[in-house]
Amino acid sequence: MKQVAIVGIQGVPAKYGGFETLVENIIGDNCCFEVRYTVFCSGKDYATRMKTYKGAQLKYIPLFHANGMQSTPYDILSMLRCLRGYDTVIILGVSGCIFLPVFRLLYRKQLIVNIDGLEHRRAKWGKFARWFLRTSEAMAVRYADVIIADNKGIQDYVWNTYHKKAELVAYGGDHAQRNVTEERQNEILRQYGIAPGNYAVSVCRIEPENNCHLILKAFATSGKNLVFVGNWERSEYSRRLKEEYCGRKNIQMVDSVYDLDILYALRNQCRCYIHGHSAGGTNPSLVEAMFFGKPILAYDVIYNRETTENEAHYFKTNEELVELLHDSPEDGYKMREIAKQHYTWAFIAQQYKALLSSPK
């Protein structure tokens, strides 16, 4: 049985972001019997430390949180604990990849790195952080045996920038589908004071690169109803937006929701889904939304167009989004068909299995 270590996430059970959801869904029922996963988790982020989960072994790094400034030493310490006993190491993200020149002197077996989105292009980073992330990305591409890109836009970037081939493996989104009765869905909508089909919904982290300001301005202008789910107390940017728009009767600014039944109801009963992300690759929240078969209005960048195969509706400005809202598109079935074909977790898990079976 092949022994595979996974490094670079907060841990499982998933409770943070896209990579955590990825690991949650490639282990367990979707995992092939020829692979035994070990997932490295942050001891700082899990009060209860399970030894196993969904058939995977869990090992904890006690000194660091998995995100923010501590992510680099967290990833490096995780790598050091992978030097023996593993046939393959999978690193998710590049924050610790600055260490790869040293790691590769000590570890000679298969190394797979999923480089995620182009972190160094995100507006929130300062000059040093951008340099550091760009350098870490270059180390990942140079020293990995297999590079994973989650979007064709990222795959093309790797080829054009580094002249290296990246394997295209996206994310699944079918975990967002749940068995929630219509009665329960209607009860949830009443709690928010909204009616089925009479509102748009958006779910994201409240950051400038997700164009939250543009979305809010468009709905304030159009008067259309919006339920906007996000972490509204996280930063000066999010708090400023909340203060500016929370008084609008047609806009509900809902703090982050972790109840999957509530998220299901909000997505399943909406008129359309708004996706403002401008950075990164295949975004998990977009893939999840596609399974609901609703029209998707997405920010016009290559990553979103590739994910939706140019079959969504796209905007770059406040005025373009307002125009789309007044047009009221009704063709979301295309999104569901694309999602079923490309973004199921069973399919994604098999792609990872194939990479694990490839020669070093």
Query: What is the predicted pLDDT for the residue at 334?
Result: 95
Domains and their CATH numbers in the chain: 2-172+344-357 (3.40.50.2000), 174-342 (3.40.50.2000)
Which position has the token pair 């509102």?
199
Q: Is the pLDDT of residue 119 over 70?
A: no
User: Is the bond preceding residue 284 a cis peptide, omega within 30 degrees?
Assistant: no
- What is residue 281's predicted lDDT score, i.e. its pLDDT? 85
Percent of the chain with pLDDT over 90: 82
Helices (H), 193-259: 212-222, 236-245
CB-based contacts of 296: which residues, under 8 Å, 6+ apart? 272, 273, 275, 286, 289, 290, 308, 312, 313, 332, 335
**What is residue 87's predicted lDDT score, i.e. its pLDDT?**
96
> Which is more confidently placed, 219 or 120?
219
**Separation CA 358–CA 268 (nearest Å):** 39
Number of H helices, E strands in the chain: 14, 14
pTM for this prediction: 0.90
- Stretch among 92-101, 177-186, 207-216, 276-285 having the lowest mean pLDDT: 276-285
pLDDT digits (tens, 9 = 90+) for 63-106: 899 988 899 999 999 999 999 999 999 999 999 999 999 999 99
Measured distance CA(242)–CA(251) in Å, rounded: 10
- Predicted confidence at residue 8, as pLDDT, reads 96
pLDDT at 321: 98
Mean pLDDT of the chain: 93
Q: Which two tokens stand for residue 250?
A: 């047609």
Span 45-64, pLDDT tens digits: 998 899 999 999 999 999 89
Mean pLDDT comparison of 44-48, 234-238, 318-322, highest-scoring range: 318-322
Convert the pLDDT of each residue in 265-312 to its tens digit.
Answer: 999 999 999 999 998 889 999 999 999 999 999 999 999 999 999 999
The pLDDT value given to residue 360: 61
- The pLDDT of residue 86 is 97
pLDDT at residue 234, rounded to an integer: 85
- CA nearest 199: which of 248, 131, 267, 145? 267
Length of the chain: 360
**What pLDDT score does 82 carry?**
96
Q: What is the average pLDDT across 141-163?
A: 95
Burial class (CB in 10 A: 0-12, 13-18, 19+), 84: exposed
